[in-house]
Amino acid sequence: MSAPGEWIESAVAGVGVDPETMLPVIVDEAAAEATLAGGDTESRIVVLLARGDAVGAADLLAEARLAEPKNFALKILDMQVLRVSGNPERALHWLRAMVDECAGTEHEAVIEQNLGTMYFATGDFLAASTRFRAALALREAAGEPERLIDSSRRALAAAEARAGRGVE
């Protein structure tokens, strides 16, 4: 696990991303606890994943998906639950199926970023680099918040380092 100062910022209070694993980690227990107590469903799922509670996250996600079956963020969280549950290959299958559906939409960068995360999880760091690079380019072109651009940049650097190359 990386040192706390190296964690990639996430959108969820109390949660960061470990650049060595691309897994969510608790970076501030009090903030994570507050998110669990009063955050939106998506944020609560992320906290549960960061705590390693894939079953709790899956249960909460299933309830949310019943209420909102077309919610894109919940679809993406399905992929993260699969990954934390030890099945990134299945998540890759579903994400690849979503690529064409999301091409040219505001969701394309999210799909690319998550594909990079899943390839990273399977040890295919070259494919992860390709996907993180695509997400970075899409986020920069769209003028997305610096936090998102930085997360793609740092994920790309981590994947390239694991693939044996430095960031260009």
pLDDT at 123 over 60: yes
**144 pLDDT above the threshold of 60:** yes
> What per-residue confidence (pLDDT) applies to 1?
56
Give me the residue spans of the domains in the chain: 1-86, 88-168
Report the percent of the chain where pLDDT is more than 90.
91
Q: Tell me the mean pLDDT in the region 106-124.
A: 97
In which band, very low, low, confident or very high, does the pLDDT at 20 lie, cut at 50, 70 and 90?
Answer: very high
Closest CA relative to residue 142, chosen from 108, 111, 168: 108
> Which band of pLDDT confidence, cut at 50, 70 and 90, is reported for residue 4?
low
Q: How many angstroms separate the CA atoms of 70 and 151, rounded? A: 26
Please give the sequence-ordered ranges of beta strands (E in DSSP) within the chain, or none if there are none: 8-9, 15-18, 23-26
Indicate the SS3 state at residue 100. helix
Residues contacting residue 30 through CB under 8 Å, at least 6 positions apart = 14
Buried b (16+ CB within 10 A) or exposed e, 98-121: beeebeeeebbbbbbbbbbbbbbb
Asked whether the beta carbons of 83 and 54 are under 8 A apart, the reply is no
pLDDT(23) > 60: yes
pLDDT of 103 reads 95
User: What is the average pLDDT across 116-145?
Assistant: 97
Alpha-carbon distance of 71 to 142, in angstroms, equals 22
* Mean pLDDT of the chain, nearest integer: 93
**Cα 163 from Cα 21, distance rounded (Å):** 13
